[in-house]
Amino acid sequence: MVKRLQILVIGNNENGFTPELEKIAYETGREIAKSGAVLITGGLGGVMKAACHGAKDAEGMVIGIIPQNDPSFANEYCDIVIPSGIGLARDFLTALSGDGVIIIGGGAGTLSEACAAYMHKRPMVAIRNTGGIADRYAGQYLDHRQQVKVEGASSPSEAVKIILEKISLR
């Protein structure tokens, strides 16, 4: 049996979440599911919930790795909930669980996950014009070590296409 690819989607939680981000995250989740990959998120609201919703609507598999120790905190679209019970340290679990990462908007929590993925050389794609961390780092490296360039994409379908290509090159 061949392991299915796992793609992590990170971005704004409810704070700073807009209808535009909801549409982009939903479509990203759909595209991931249509590719046959498993969607991984932090399992809560905002970008995470919208991506999970899109993946479920496309009959995909969704895993939520939540910071709490109670699985009831996860959004209703998660097929599998991993209640880490380790708070914000769960950013390392999510980053290491994805074969690649797609960034949609985001603030400090998103940056924490992106940094964890960067330190472990996970490919990353940021969807441009979604604000926050995605716009700041699209086309850039996170630091002087230039370990992994955060590729930029203009749409959810382009982001999934690029991340699948980057994962295949690893």
Confidence of residue 170 (pLDDT cuts 50, 70, 90): confident
In contact, 73 and 63? CB cutoff 8 Å: no
> Residue written as tokens 């969807």?
127
- Amino acid 87: pLDDT: 94
> What pLDDT is attached to residue 2?
77
60-89 pLDDT, tens per residue?
999 999 999 999 999 999 999 999 999 999
Q: Which two tokens stand for residue 111?
A: 């940056």
According to the model, what pLDDT value does residue 105 have? 97
- Per CATH, the number for 11-164 is 3.40.50.450
pLDDT tops 80 at residue 1:
no
Match 């709490």 to its residue by tokens. Answer: 68
How high is the pLDDT of residue 156?
Answer: 98
Domain ranges of the chain: 11-164
Question: What is the Cα–Cα distance from 127 to 47, expressed in whole angstroms?
Answer: 12
18 three-state secondary structure: coil
pLDDT(13) > 90: yes
pLDDT digits (tens, 9 = 90+) for 19-39: 999 999 999 999 999 999 999
Judge whether residue 148 has pLDDT over 80: yes
Position 118 pLDDT exceeds 90: yes
What φ, ψ does residue 141 adopt, rounded to 5°?
-100, 155
Is residue 3's pLDDT more than 90? no
pLDDT of residue 107: 95
Residue pair 25/2 in contact by the 8 Å Cβ criterion? no
Torsion from C-alpha of 170, 97, 48, 57, nearest 10 degrees:
80
pTM for the predicted model, two decimal places:
0.97
Note the pLDDT of residue 159. 98
Return the amino acid letter for 20: E
Mean pLDDT of all residues in the chain?
Answer: 96
- Label residue 169 by pLDDT band (50, 70, 90): confident
